[in-house]
Chains A and B, each alone.
Chain A
Amino acid sequence: MDCLRSFNFALANQSNYDASLGFKHWQIGTAHYWLIDQSLPNVKYLVQGFKNINVFKIELSGDINSSPAFSPYETLVQNWSWNLQVVGQNSTNVGILAPAQSPGYMVIQETNPFLRLSKFQPSITFETPIQSAKEIIFTNFYCDGIANETTTSAQVGFVINVTVFYKYEGE
């Protein structure tokens, strides 16, 4: 990893998520639980310029949380994740799945169409890079927690900084 370069970009937003945005509430007695499972939108960071880049690592830093300013939609966030799609050429697999896929309980896919980065696992590293990366797409925001004061929606906000470790193709 010593010869890599890096760049970073930021995501910053806050929203009040209701059922139309994937919010689900349930309770056990007076204990409140919730999750947000938002399939869209896809947000794209487009790589441009004369030279292609090979991506070796992506790391998220930051947190998602609630705030007193969100009252009465504040809540406690326990976990969060995004699906990241790096549009490029995946490393060549050295194996294939058994054709019959039986047992195929885990629904393994031979490529990595999505990288799932989360609160407790915010980084992914490759020895063989994703080559000629053209786009980094954020989609499928997921968030869950407890103690939502309002049962119909929850408001969360975040500043997430994304650091991409790369080399220029040919270096």
Chain B
Amino acid sequence: MECLKSFSFLINKTVNLTGADAKTWTTGTAQHFWAATTGAVSSTYNIEGFRNINVYGVDLVGTVQTLATAVSGQCIVNDWNIELVISGNQPLINSNITASPNYYNISNNSTNNNQFALGRFNNTLKFASPIESVKFFQLGTTTASGWGYNNSADINLFWNLNLVIYYDYEGD
């Protein structure tokens, strides 16, 4: 990683998830739990400029939390993850997947392999062979869960995150 460059951008969003996107339940008195999803939403960071970049790693640093200033929906966020698509040329080896059983849907095709999930407990990606000629980073569905919801009808989430990209220019 010594010769790499990096850049970063901020993810800064708050929303109150409701209806089918926010499930709350109890297993008894004072046992409040919740699971929430943003569904199929996305934000895309496009790479521009004369030179292509090769991506060697990604760090997602920060928190998905709840806002004290939200009108309602405060909760304790126990776990969260965000889907990330890195659109570029994936490093591959000559390989195959045993067709059956393939219970976990292992895939080595590039369309599926460029999907990652970064979260509270797994917030970093590192590659020895880079993803080459990366065109964009697309942040997709966020899934979160926890306990202690204040209101059973909505869940307030606040994304307070930095995404750091480690790269070099093609040909360097």
Contact = CB atoms under 8 A, between A and B. Distances in A.
Interface stretch (A25-33, A89-97, A98-106, A107-115): A25-33
Which of A53, A76, A166 is most buried by chain B, counting CB atoms within 10 A of its CB?
A: A76
B148 to A, nearest CB: 11
Contacts of B122: 60-63, 119, 122
B102 A9 contact: no
Contacts of B20: 68-69
Interface string B108-139: 10001101111111101111110000000000
A138 B81 contact: no
Contact of A147 (B33, B37, B118): B33
B170 interface: no
Given A6-B91, A30-B27, A11 B104 contact: yes
A41 B106 CA distance: 12
Nearest to B102: A43
B35 interface: yes
B104 A161 contact: no
Interface in A68-101: 68-72, 74-77
Interface of A: 1, 4-13, 27, 29-32, 40-50, 53, 59-63, 65-72, 74-77, 119-120, 122, 138, 141, 146-149, 158-161, 163, 165-166
26 contacts: A5-B128, A6-B129, A7-B95, A9-B113, A10-B106, A10-B113, A10-B115, A12-B107, A30-B31, A45-B97, A45-B106, A46-B98, A59-B126, A63-B79, A63-B120, A68-B22, A71-B23, A72-B25, A76-B79, A76-B147, A141-B104, A147-B27, A147-B33, A159-B83, A163-B127, A166-B93
Interface of B: 20-23, 25, 27-29, 31, 33, 35-37, 78-79, 81, 83, 90-98, 101-108, 112-113, 115-122, 124-129, 143, 145-147
